Amino acid sequence: MSATAAITTRHDWSLAEVRALFEQPFNDLLFQAQTVHRQHFDANRVQVSTLLSIKTGACPEDCKYCPQSGHYNTGLDKEKLMEVQKVLEAAAEAKAIGSTRFCMGAAWKHPSAKDMPYVLEMVKGVKKLGLETCMTLGRLDQEQTQALAEAGLDYYNHNLDTSPEFYGNIITTRTYGERLQTLAYVREAGMKICSGGILGMGESVDDRAGLLIQLANLPEHPESVPINMLVKVKGTPLAEEKDVDPFDFIRTLAVARIMMPKSHVRLSAGREAMNEQMQALAFMAGANSIFYGEKLLTTANPQADKDMALFKRLGIKPEEREEHADEVHQAAIEQALVEQRDSKLFYNAASA
């Protein structure tokens, strides 16, 4: 395939085709990915999101990469669901440093009926701040999905993590089919999908290709595709895994960009371990979204000022939300916080 050929949006990728992309000379692959990227995006704009853990630890899932799993002793403190007000204050701070999307993650297998009202209030409150909203709460049923959509949730994150063939080596408490079903519910409810995977768990190149095939062959591509590099945490079964080769990681980003040309490809967990040169290559490969702020759920993330310094050196600017003009930002923040202070839902969900 010519690197300059126009790429159509496809949903019928084969393993042989994706292998061929991975096997290209590195420079050819990056040139093709950057060419595709420029057909759909401003090459010097990066979407900026902030992620907050709204409920930490004691998750019943056994994901071998996760320090929040209750199956492993990682020294992580267990925390209850945050108060709505504290979440909104964190969202306002995220907006103040330049984030346009606020993502909220809870260490659950699925949301409980008792916690859902508080989760819905968080969505409504963050929306009033003028931010895009995203949540990751585990498996959803149709009723929960519809409730989130009606509250105004923009994105739902539910990663596939790896290929169907390798998945059982990483997780046994939730099936691949259940993950795909949650994504289907999210799409049926009219929300956008954020779904990607993790590199460095001992998977093969074919497993990386298989993950991207699952995502790209969905009826609609995910609007956001986070590509994570395993953050090895002592106490988890993957703590001693071999590091991902940086060029292999960049190759995966580039292939994701080619296969899902209109999706935002997010440089996600593991960015703290990447030097500036690797991050610059990631943007060249078509990554155009990052998590921004000091912490990514329970692991470190480059600080905002460090990110902005790198952006300046590379001539990159944060992507903006056109529908929210700068002059209304502060007024929206103040009004939403005032309204939420009057709500009885400020109290911690655990006290209900």
Binding site per annotation, positions for [4Fe-4S] cluster: 59, 63, 66
Rounded CA separation 137/30 (Å) = 34
Which candidate in 66, 139, 174, 271 is catalytic? 66
Question: In sequence order, what are the beta bridge partners of 59?
Answer: 69
Which candidate in 101, 179, 266, 271 is catalytic? 266
* CA distance to 23, 28, 72, 290, per residue, from 100 (Å): 36, 33, 34, 11
User: Catalytic annotation on 341?
Assistant: no
User: Catalytic annotation on 194?
Assistant: yes
Which candidate in 134, 179, 208, 271 is catalytic? 134
User: Catalytic annotation on 103?
Assistant: yes
3-state percent breakdown (helix, strand, coil) of the chain, nearest 5: 40, 15, 45
Residues 163, 206: contact at Cβ < 8 Å? Answer: yes
Which candidate in 101, 103, 179, 208 is catalytic? 103
Rounded CA separation 316/44 (Å) = 5
User: Catalytic annotation on 179?
Assistant: no
**DSSP string across 69-112:** BTTS---PPP-PPPPHHHHHHHHHHHHHTT-SEEEEEE--SS--
**DSSP string across 140-175:** --HHHHHHHHHHT--EEE---BS-HHHHTTT-SSS-
List residues forming the annotated binding site.
59, 63, 66, 103, 134, 194, 266
Which candidate in 194, 208, 251, 271 is catalytic? 194
User: Catalytic annotation on 101?
Assistant: no
Torsion from C-alpha of 86, 92, 97, 99, nearest 10 degrees: 100
User: Catalytic annotation on 59?
Assistant: yes
Of 6, 71, 2, 12, residue with least CA distance to 221: 12
List residues forming the annotated binding site for [2Fe-2S] cluster.
103, 134, 194, 266
Catalytic site positions:
59, 63, 66, 103, 134, 194, 266
